[in-house]
Each structure stands twice: as structure tokens, then as C-alpha cells.
């Protein structure tokens, strides 16, 4: 035998690469290829070659002539060699030593730690690295199709074992399905093959195929991006596929078009003609149908499938059933791992952010959209968790970025959604505490189809579950809509969502508790501030007042509409207040202890700050105005005793602890009051709470002898009276009041009408200074000027005209707008209701004439100053004249302007703004804009 030198053999193989490659394919072993890859590190090259091969040979046909036929032998061998090289290093090798395996694990852990340390040092990044799965799915490359065909021809036993081994260790359902189809095509010589798997619950099964009409010569598995787009669904029991799945029988058809169960729609779409069909069920170990395989057109074309084909397929499909069951089981375990990981990340998110409710709800919705792959998520929080009436106070919504919408809708956080639809389902869940899972909303009577159409967002399925706090109380509901894959929410989704919402409920509850702590801190801060400033009256003061002689109303002059409060000092105003209570008879009717009443009045006076206007004198003026309207105007005949007492107490307490600044200033500065009560009627809520605090102090409860029901009703009336002094509420109610009065529909018997009337009476008394003699009505707005000075110095803002002392010469024009737009319409409406209020309207008219005169004088002076601006001397003279013309009395500088100098309450007080818009725009647009937001009563 001739001896060959190794160099000669190597040179021969180098010159015949095709021969060497074919030999390598037939003889090489996996461990040999694995060692070669480790030495040459060719995995990157192999991967790039595989990608190029995938790009060159697509799975789906590009024309109607059908898919590409069997590839050449050389191409198949090369594909096989490349697949071996690509997957060999990922295959578990039993010969690898345990120490080597441990070293690889430690290397992986070090890589994860390096990954975590390279990111910002946040708990989210560390948690993500630690939770990364350590499980690798074993991947085994299939033998070349040409090799399988050769085995089939030479050794049927080895061929069958090769097909079984090909699918036995495959745990990826996509790869497994692809391998089954290729093997079935080879097994029965079919031109094409399809695999349908059973999905859905037992009562609504569906057959789904992600690989439809796969050709036997296909060598490249489709990418994951094409799987969902090419998914085919067949209803249970419909067509040949559905019949086989339902009955578990084998169907062998020699002419498909002669069978009534066959549908030619696919043939029309693809241009491919189906002739023969072999369809058979795939069962699991329990005999339950889990899939259906369909072989089409046995080769050569036109040949029917034989009984031998049926037998060999019956032998092979049980192995397919076992592999499919294992792959599904592995897939479910991976899903459970991912869901558990997502829940841990949710917990991390919730504990990272517990200070802002909006932020934490936004995180919850983002996690829900990602976790459950749905189009839209809503979170609705209850207003009162203890109330039997379901009412949502806050609503948050978020749309998935993967959801295709015909219109551009920004779904950032909406505190009160304008297009939240079908609240009935959310209310049902909040009231019953039971989850609702609707797979088809069109078939559910609880769903509002009209609201669905009006919203422009089509709902297919709904999953809504309650949100519980740590004491197992429902605090809201979470709702998700429409899975992105257009399937319905199944039991696994519901269980996951309920588990997810448990953590969300804890996070929301903690955040709400944090906000309560913040409010408690703010309340404490306000209380300490009040206690440091206020104190109750002394016993000496109480005894002196109790022993004092109380003059009659006529002696004090408090029974007149044109009462001038400058005739009384602080002590006289206390005795006058006592006289009003005695005159109205409420002391006897409600059994008010006289000493308690004296102590309460003195403490109320002491709890008014020494600000320029909103002080004790203003509170007394308002109560005197209410007294004269009740007595002289005979409202006493229509109001109940409880209403009269509540109105009088409300007048005396309506500005308790006023700081000399309005609501807008509290909001701008972010004061403790704004944090405690919010930005709506901030000071009014504070005045009421302060009044309650005085009543609850020892020896100050003038309502002590009322029954529990009477006391509750009295406190409700008192709260309504004090809060109605907010002009925002006045503008909301006055239109309806005017309509009722002018139309003659006002009814004293209707509680709603009486409540509105009480609010109008409180506002009329609060603004009553505009009806008083000119000596009171012309007072300067020194308190407002002080606020304007603070806005300019502390907030660096330009104050509105009513608060700007540099523009006080505009006061007459502002007063005319205030009288015509706010005050006079109110008093005219009350006059129509009660003709005895005519003196108040007359007082307004008299004051308006004087303000009109001042305004005309201002205009004349302004025209004169403009004409004299040609010279420097004239300009200086003009400045001097301006100052002298509108210098108001010193008496006015020492006191304050009454409510007739105020106008507006919020930016939405359109009635006021309509009168001011033109003039403010001409004078100073910036000042006008600020006036719209910051001017007002409070």
C-alpha cells in the first residue's frame, strides 16, 4: 500500500475544497467542530454568514407561481455545515467537565455585575441585572434535508429515528413547529405543509397557524417579526382543519375541490392549486387534540396520499405531540418567569417613588401596558372610600405607543379625563369588588355602545379589577383595554393583572398616606402660627361685658340701612353685636348661655388680625348689614330661626384670621394655607375651620344646647354661609338666582332656592359697604396696595391695577366697573324679591354719582396734563396736579377701602373681566393679564 505524506494530503484537500466540505459534513462529529470553533473563534463569522444566507433565501414566495422548489445538493450541504457551526457552541456537551461549567457560570455572574456597575447606580439597574435569566435554551441544528432524503431511501429505521431526534430536544415552539412541518413534508412526500395549534379556553377554542403552506425545500426559518403578521386562524369545527380537530379523525382527500369542507380562498390568493390533502390530529399523552397537521399535494403532483402515508404519520405525530406539550410547558414557565420579574420591577418602582401620586400612577400604567401588552390603561381613584356612593375623584389614562390610532391623541396623564368611556363597568367593579373580564363588549349589556362610537376609540375587550389598600378597602379600579394581538384577556392575564394591582394598591395607599402626612404637617404649621398670634379673651373682659348695659338698637343706630360704623369703637361694636343677637331672639330660642355668648364674641374679635380692611370692624359691618336686612326688610318672616342664627354667626366669622392677602396671593407664594386647603376658596375654608376651632374651645360653644341633629344642620348652614363669600361660588350661582327672580319662579319652599338666596344675602352683606354713606364708600384700598407691594418685592411681579399704589388714580374708573358689573345687578335682583331693600339700591346710586364725578375729573386732568407736556415746566406742573387732584382724605389712608373696591375672584369671573378688558388693554396689557388672575375678593 502506498504511503502518503501528510503534507501531500493537506495539499490535496486544499485544492479540492468541495470534496473536503462534503467529507466533513458526512464524517465530522459535533465535539470535533466544537473544539475547532473554540480554537478559531469563528462564531461571529458563522453568524454573519447565516444572516447573509437568510437574506438571500426568503421563506415566503414573491410571485403567484408558488414557493421555490428543492435547493441544490451543494447548497443544502453548505447550509447544514453552517447550521452546525452556528449552533454547536451553544449545545450542551456532556463531556465538558463540571469545573469548566462552574467557571463559565462564574464568568457570567461577573459579566452581569460588570453590566450593572457600568450603568448608573440605581436599584432598577441592579435589580435588572440580578434578575436576568441564567437559563439557556438548548438548540440543536437539524440535519440537512438532502441527508434526510438519502436516509429515507437507504435506511427507513435510521430515517425515522433522525426525525424523532430532530424534534425531541427542541423547546422553542417556533423552531419546533418549523421542524415538524419540514419533517412531515419529507415523511409523506408532500409539496407543502401547515401546522395549526389549539389555543383559547375550552369553551372557545381556536386553531392558529404561524406557519402556513411551508414548502418542503425551505431551509431558512422565518424571523419573529413575520410570525404575527402571517398568523392564520381557523374557527373550531370549521373547514377540514376544524373538522379534524373537533372529531380527531384523519382526513385523506384525493380531490380537494370535490369536498364540501374545502375552501379555495387561499388558492385564489396565492395562485397555488390544492389537489390532494392529508390532514391528521396531533394529541398529547392524555389523548386531547392539541394541534392539526395538514399535508398538501403529494409528490409527484396529483398522486394521492396512501394508507402507508397515514400509518407513518400516525407513528410520527405522537412524538410531535409530546414535543409540542413540552415546548408549551417550557414557554409557560418562561412567561411566569418574565411575569414574576415584572412584578418585582413593579415593587421596585413603587418603593422608589412614594411622594407624588401622579408619578406613581403613571409608572403603574406604563408597567401595565408593557406587562399585559394592551392598547390602553386607566386608573380611577374613589373620592370617598367609606361612602356607599361610587364617585371617582381622579382619573388617569395612558395609551400604548404601539397602538395605531387614526388621530393623534396625546395620552399623557389626565387628572380628569374628558374621554373616559363606559364608566359603568368601573363603577360596577368599585361597588362589588369583583373583577370584570369582557371578551366581547358588543355582546355585553353593561357596555355603552353609543359612548364607544362617540369617543372614537373602539373597544373590543375589557379587563377591570378593583384596587385595594392595606386594610382591604377599595380605593379605586384599574382597567385595561384591547390586547395588542387582538386576542381576548384570558385567565392568566386576569390573574397577573390582579397580582399586579395588589402591589399598585399598596403603592397608591402609601403615596396617599404621604400626602396626608404633608397636609397634617401643614395643618400643624398653620395651627402653631394661629396659636402664636391669637389667644382667647380674659375672664375680666367677659365679666365686664356680661355686667354691661346693652343699649337698644335705635340708640346704636344699627337698625338703619345707612349705618355709619365710625360712630362705634371696638367695645361698642361688641355690645352692638350682643344687642343684635338679643333682638333677633336666637339667645332664648336656642338656649344660648349669655356668658358663653359674651366669651365667644370677645374671642372672635381677638381672632381678627390688625390688617387694614379685613378686620373686626369689617366683620361687624357685615353682620349689621345682615341684621338690618333680616329685621327692617322683614326677611325674618321667611327665614327659619336656624338659618338666621347661622347667617349671623357666619357674618361675624366669615373673615377670621384674614392675612390681608387674597386667594391668588396664597397660591402664588405656595403658603401653608394653600398647601392645606388647595387653591379653591383657600381662605374661606380656613375661616370656617377657624370658626369651628373657636366653637370647640372650652366655654365657647354657643350651640351646646342643640340636639345632635340640630347641631349637624347648624354646622352645615354655617359652612355654606362662610364659603358663599367666595366670589367664584357667587358667579356660579347668581345667574340661576337672577333667572328665578326675574321669571317669578323663585320658591321659598324649595330648599335649593333657599340655599341660593342665603348665598346671595351673604354676598350682599359682604359687599354692603358700597351702599353706605360716601364717608365710608370713598375709603382707599390700602390693604390691596400692601399686597401689591409684597407682590412686587417678594414675587417680582407687576401687581394688577387694583393692587398697584402707583396707579391709584385709576380707582374711580375701577369702582364704576365694580358697581355696574357686580354690585348693582345683585341688589336689583334682591330688590325685586323684597321692595324694602330700596335704600340699599339708592345708596349705590348715590355713591356711583360721586365716583362718576371723580372719574370725569380724572379724565379732564389727564387731558390737561397731556396738553401741557410740550415743555418741561408743563410736565412738572401736570405731575403736581395729578397728585393733588386724586389725593384722597387722610382719614381714608388710615383705614381701608371696603368691598366696593374689590372686583373679581378668579380668572373665570367673566362678568368682571368683560367690563375691564378694553381699558386695561389700553393702559397696560401686562397689568391687565395679571389682574385677571390675581384680583378679587380673597
772-791 residue pLDDT tens: 765 544 454 677 788 888 88
- Of 384-388, 488-492, 832-836, 912-916, give the lowest mean pLDDT range: 912-916
Of the candidates 436, 411, 409, 410, the one whose C-alpha atom is nearest the C-alpha of residue 423 is: 436
- For 194-253, what is the HEC assignment? EEEEEECCCCCCEEEEEEEEEECCCCCCCCHHHCHHHCEEEECCCHHHHHHHHHCCCEEE
Cα 160 to Cα 163, 277, 497: the distances in Å are 5, 22, 45
The dihedral formed by the CA atoms of 663, 668, 671 and 677, expressed in degrees to the nearest 10: 50
CB 523 within 8 A of CB 398: no
Lowest average pLDDT, out of 65-79, 277-291, 295-309, 822-836, goes to: 65-79
* pLDDT more than 70, % of the chain: 73
Instruction: Please tell me what DSSP assigns to residue 721.
Output: H
Confidence of residue 910 (pLDDT cuts 50, 70, 90): very low
Most confident of 375-389, 678-692, 709-723: 709-723
Most confidently predicted of 220-224, 805-809, 832-836, 852-856: 832-836
Residue spans of alpha helices (H) in 724-781: 727-742, 751-766, 774-777
* CA-wise closest residue to 481 among 451, 436, 431, 446: 436
156: pLDDT confidence band, cut at 50, 70 and 90? Answer: confident
Higher local confidence (pLDDT), 147 or 637: 637
- Whether pLDDT at 927 is above 80: no
Percentages helix, strand, coil for the chain, rounded to the nearest 5? 60, 10, 30
Q: H helices within 353-418, ranges in order? A: 357-372
Chain centroid offset of residue 487 CA: 25
Whether 247 shows a pLDDT value over 80: the answer reads yes
Strand order of the β-sheet with 374-382 is 392-399, 374-382, 474-483, 462-468, 436-438
| Residues in CB range of 813: below 8 A, 6 or more apart | 855, 858, 919
| Measured distance CA(652)–CA(630) in Å, rounded | 15
How far are the Cα atoms of 445, 534, 782 from residue 390, in angstroms, in the given order? Answer: 20, 41, 48
Q: Which residues pair with 296 in a beta bridge?
A: 192, 277
For the cut 50, the answer to whether the pLDDT of residue 739 exceeds it is yes
H-only helix segments in 697-726: 708-723
- Using CB atoms within 10 A of its CB, is residue 570 exposed (0-12), middle (13-18) or buried (19+)? exposed
Model pTM above 0.85? no
Grid cell digits, residue 341:
420579574
Mean pLDDT in residue range 626-647:
93
Phi and psi at 430, nearest 5°, equal: -65, -30
| Dihedral sign, Cα of residue 71, residue 72, residue 76, residue 78 | negative
Residue 402 CB-density burial (10 A; 0-12 exposed, 13-18 middle, 19+ buried): exposed
Can you tell me the distance from the alpha carbon of 54 to that of 71, in angstroms, rounded to the nearest whole number? Answer: 14
Identify whether the C-beta of residue 938 lies closer than 8 Å to the C-beta of residue 809. no
pLDDT in tens, 208-218: 887 666 665 55
Contact yes or no for 304/195 (Cβ under 8 A): no
Per-residue pLDDT tens digits for 689-731: 999 989 988 899 999 999 999 999 999 999 999 999 998 888 8
Tell me how far apart the alpha carbons of residues 816 and 824 are, in angstroms, rounded to a whole number: 10
Q: Which three cell numbers stand for residue 836?
A: 324694602
The reported pLDDT for the residue numbered 135 is: 59
* pLDDT confidence of residue 111: 55
Rounded to an integer, what distance in angstroms lies between the CA atom of residue 881 and that of residue 861? 8
| pLDDT score recorded for residue 147 | 76
pLDDT of residue 922: 34
Give catalytic residues, as residue numbers: 614
Please choose, from the candidates 435, 481, 491, 436, the residue with its C-alpha nearest in 3D space to the C-alpha of residue 201: 491
The top-scoring range by mean pLDDT among 86-95, 170-179, 480-489, 699-708 is 699-708
C-alpha distances in Å from residue 191, one per residue of 68, 150, 233, 377: 11, 17, 22, 46
More confident residue, 880 or 556: 556
Report the alpha-carbon distance of residue 490 to residue 481 in Å, rounded.
13
- Does the pLDDT of residue 652 top 90, yes or no? yes
674 is written with which cell numbers? Answer: 394653600
Residues listed for the chain: 938
Q: How confident is the model at residue 221 (pLDDT cuts 50, 70, 90)?
A: low
Assigned C-alpha cell, 673: 394655607
**Calpha distance 897→294 (Å, rounded):** 93
Q: How far apart are CA 686 and CA 677, in angstroms?
A: 7
- Provide the mean pLDDT of the chain: 75
Over residues 312-324, the mean pLDDT reads: 90
Distance between alpha carbon 414 and the CA centroid of its chain, in Å? 5
Of all helices (H) and strands (E), which one includes residue 269?
A: helix 265-270
pLDDT, tens digit (0-9, with 9 covering 90-100), for 160-208: 888 888 888 888 888 888 888 888 888 888 888 889 998 877 777 888 8
Q: CA 636, 637, 642, 646: dihedral to nearest 10 degrees?
A: -30
> 20-24: long-range contacts at Cβ-Cβ below 8 A with a sequence spacing of 24 or more?
21/77, 21/78, 21/81, 22/77, 24/81
206 beta partners: 199, 235
Cis peptide before 641 (omega within 30 of 0): no
3-state SS track over 408-456: CCCCCCCCCCCCCCCHHHHHHHHHHCCCEEECCHHHCCCCCHHHHHHHC
Grid coordinates of 509 = 395607599
Peptide bond into 850 cis (omega under 30): no
Which residue matches cell numbers 413575520? Answer: 226
Cell numbers at residue 63, please? 410571485
Contact at 8 Å (CB) between 481 and 397?
A: no
On whether the CB atoms of residues 617 and 764 are closer than 8 A, the answer is no
Closest CA to 332 of 491, 165, 130, 501: 491
DSSP 400: -
Between 534 and 64, the higher pLDDT residue: 534
- Band (pLDDT 50/70/90 cuts) for residue 686 is very high
Nine-digit cell string for 672 = 401653608
CA angle (598 as vertex; 595, 602 as ends), nearest 5: 140
User: What's the chain's Rg over C-alpha atoms?
Assistant: 43
pLDDT higher than threshold 90 for residue 51: no
With a cut of 50, say whether residue 109 has pLDDT above it. Answer: yes
Q: Which of 333-342, 567-576, 918-927 has the highest mean pLDDT?
A: 567-576
Q: Evaluate whether 301 touches 273 at the Cβ level (below 8 Å).
A: no
pLDDT above 80 (res 882): no
Burial class (CB in 10 A: 0-12, 13-18, 19+), 299: middle
State pLDDT tens for residues 789-811. 888 888 888 888 878 888 877 87
Backbone angle region of 168, left / alpha / beta, with phi > 0 → left and psi within -120 to 50 → alpha: alpha
559-584 average pLDDT score = 90
The confidence score (pLDDT) of residue 47 equals: 43
Amino acid at each position: 500500500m502506498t504511503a502518503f505524506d501528510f503534507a501531500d494530503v493537506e495539499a490535496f484537500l486544499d485544492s479540492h475544497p468541495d470534496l473536503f466540505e462534503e467529507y466533513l459534513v458526512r464524517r465530522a462529529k459535533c465535539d470535533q467542530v466544537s473544539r475547532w470553533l473554540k480554537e478559531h473563534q469563528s462564531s461571529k463569522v458563522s453568524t454573519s454568514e447565516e444572516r447573509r444566507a437568510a437574506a438571500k433565501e426568503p421563506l415566503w414566495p414573491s410571485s403567484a407561481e408558488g414557493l421555490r422548489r428543492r435547493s441544490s445538493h451543494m447548497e443544502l450541504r453548505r447550509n447544514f455545515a453552517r447550521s452546525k457551526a452556528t449552533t454547536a457552541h451553544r449545545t450542551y456537551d456532556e463531556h465538558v467537565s463540571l469545573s469548566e461549567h462552574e467557571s463559565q457560570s462564574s464568568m457570567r455572574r461577573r459579566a452581569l455585575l460588570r453590566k450593572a456597575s457600568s450603568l448608573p447606580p440605581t436599584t432598577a439597574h441592579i435589580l435588572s441585572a440580578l434578575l436576568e435569566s441564567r437559563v439557556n435554551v438548548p438548540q440543536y441544528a437539524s440535519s440537512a434535508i438532502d441527508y434526510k432524503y438519502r436516509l429515507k431511501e437507504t435506511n427507513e429505521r435510521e430515517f425515522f429515528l433522525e426525525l424523532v431526534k430532530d424534534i425531541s430536544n427542541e423547546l422553542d415552539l417556533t423552531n419546533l413547529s418549523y421542524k415538524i412541518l419540514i419533517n412531515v413534508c419529507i415523511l409523506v412526500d408532500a409539496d407543502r405543509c401547515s401546522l395549526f395549534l389549539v389555543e383559547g379556553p375550552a369553551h372557545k377554542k381556536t386553531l392558529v397557524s404561524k406557519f402556513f403552506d411551508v414548502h418542503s425545500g425551505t431551509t431558512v426559518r422565518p424571523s419573529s417579526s413575520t410570525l404575527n403578521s402571517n398568523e392564520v386562524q381557523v374557527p373550531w369545527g370549521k373547514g377540514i382543519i376544524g373538522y379534524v380537530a373537533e372529531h380527531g379523525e384523519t382526513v385523506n382527500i384525493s380531490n380537494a375541490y370535490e369536498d364540501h369542507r374545502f375552501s379555495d380562498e387561499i388558492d385564489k390568493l396565492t395562485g397555488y392549486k390544492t389537489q390532494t390533502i392529508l390532514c391528521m390530529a396531533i394529541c398529547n399523552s392524555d389523548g386531547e387534540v392539541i394541534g392539526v397537521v395538514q399535508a398538501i399535494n403529494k409528490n409527484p403532483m396529483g398522486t394521492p396520499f396512501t394508507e402507508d402515508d397515514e400509518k407513518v404519520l400516525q407513528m410520527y405525530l405522537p412524538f410531535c405531540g409530546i414535543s409540542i406539550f413540552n415546548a408549551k410547558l417550557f414557554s409557560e414557565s418562561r412567561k411566569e418567569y418574565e411575569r414574576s420579574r415584572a412584578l418585582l420591577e413593579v415593587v421596585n418602582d413603587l418603593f422608589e417613588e412614594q411622594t407624588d401620586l401622579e408619578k406613581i400612577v403613571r409608572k403603574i400604567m406604563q408597567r401595565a401596558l408593557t406587562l399585559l401588552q394592551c392598547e390602553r390603561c386607566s386608573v380611577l381613584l374613589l373620592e370617598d372610600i367609606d361612602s356607599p356612593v361610587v364617585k371617582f375623584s381622579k382619573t388617569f389614562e395612558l395609551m400604548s405607543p404601539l397602538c395605531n390610532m387614526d388621530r393623534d391623541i396625546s395620552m399623557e396623564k389626565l387628572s380628569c379625563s374628558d374621554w373616559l368611556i363606559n364608566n359603568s363597568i368601573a363603577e360596577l367593579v368599585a361597588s362589588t369588588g369583583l373583577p370584570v373580564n369582557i371578551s366581547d363588549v358588543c355582546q355585553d349589556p353593561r357596555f355603552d355602545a353609543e359612548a364607544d362610537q362617540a369617543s372614537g376609540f373602539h373597544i373590543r375587550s375589557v379587563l377591570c379589577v378593583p384596587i385595594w389598600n392595606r386594610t382591604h378597602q377599595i380605593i379605586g379600579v384599574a382597567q385595561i383595554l384591547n390586547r395588542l394581538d387582538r386576542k381576548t384577556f384570558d385567565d392568566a392575564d386576569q390573574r397577573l393583572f390582579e397580582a399586579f394591582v395588589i402591589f399598585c394598591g399598596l403603592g397608591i395607599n402609601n403615596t396617599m398616606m404621604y400626602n396626608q402626612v404633608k397636609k397634617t404637617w401643614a395643618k400643624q404649621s398653620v395651627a402653631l402660627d394661629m396659636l402664636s398670634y391669637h389667644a382667647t379673651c380674659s375672664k375680666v373682659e367677659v365679666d365686664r361685658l356680661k355686667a354691661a348695659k346693652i343699649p337698644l338698637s335705635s340708640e346704636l343706630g344699627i337698625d338703619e340701612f345707612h349705618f355709619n360704623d365710625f360712630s362705634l369703637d371696638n367695645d361698642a361694636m361688641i355690645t352692638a353685636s350682643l344687642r343684635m343677637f338679643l333682638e333677633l331672639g336666637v339667645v332664648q330660642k336656642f338656649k344660648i348661655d349669655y356668658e358663653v355668648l359674651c366669651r365667644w364674641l370677645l374671642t372672635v374679635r381677638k381672632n381678627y388680625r390688625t390688617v387694614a380692611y379685613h378686620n373686626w370692624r369689617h366683620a361687624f359691618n357685615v353682620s349689621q348689614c345682615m341684621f338690618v336686612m333680616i329685621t327692617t326688610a322683614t326677611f325674618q318672616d321667611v327665614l327659619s330661626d336656624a338659618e338666621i342664627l347661622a347667617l349671623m354667626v357666619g357674618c361675624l366669622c366669615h373673615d377670621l384670621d384674614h392675612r390681608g392677602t387674597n386667594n391668588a396671593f396664597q397660591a402664588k407664594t405656595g403658603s401653608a394655607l394653600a398647601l392645606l386647603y388647595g387653591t379653591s376658596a383657600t381662605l374661606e375654608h380656613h375661616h370656617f375651620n377657624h370658626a369651628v376651632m373657636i366653637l370647640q374651645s372650652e366655654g365657647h360653644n354657643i350651640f351646646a344646647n342643640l340636639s345632635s341633629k340640630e347641631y349637624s344642620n347648624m354646622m352645615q348652614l354655617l359652612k355654606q354661609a362662610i364659603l358663599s363669600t367666595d366670589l367664584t361660588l357667587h358667579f356660579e350661582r347668581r345667574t340661576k338666582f337672577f333667572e328665578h327672580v326675574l321669571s317669578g319662579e323663585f320658591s321659598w319652599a324649595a330648599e335649593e332656592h333657599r340655599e341660593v338666596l342665603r348665598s346671595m344675602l351673604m354676598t350682599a352683606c359682604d359687599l354692603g359697604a358700597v351702599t353706605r354713606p360716601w364717608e365710608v364708600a370713598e375709603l382707599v384700598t390700602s390693604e390691596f396696595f400692601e399686597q401689591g407691594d409684597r407682590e412686587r418685592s417678594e414675587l417680582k411681579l407687576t401687581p394688577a391695577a387694583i393692587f398697584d399704589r402707583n396707579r391709584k388714580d385709576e380707582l374711580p374708573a375701577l369702582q364704576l366697573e365694580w358697581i355696574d358689573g357686580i354690585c348693582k345687578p345683585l341688589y336689583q335682583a334682591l330688590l325685586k324679591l323684597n321692595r324694602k331693600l330700596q335704600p340699599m339700591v339708592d345708596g349705590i346710586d348715590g355713591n356711583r354719582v360721586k365716583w362718576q364725578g371723580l372719574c370725569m375729573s380724572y379724565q379732564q386732568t389727564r387731558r390737561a396734563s397731556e396738553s401741557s407736556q410740550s415743555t418741561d415746566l408743563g410736565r412738572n406742573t401736570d405731575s403736581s396736579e395729578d397728585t393733588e387732584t386724586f389725593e384722597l382724605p387722610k382719614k381714608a389712608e388710615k383705614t381701608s377701602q371696603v368691598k366696593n373696591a374689590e372686583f373679581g375672584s378668579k380668572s373665570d369671573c367673566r362678568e368682571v373681566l368683560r367690563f375691564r378688558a378694553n381699558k386695561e388693554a389700553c393702559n397696560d396689557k401686562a397689568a391687565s393679564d395679571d389682574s385677571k388672575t390675581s384680583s378679587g375678593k380673597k
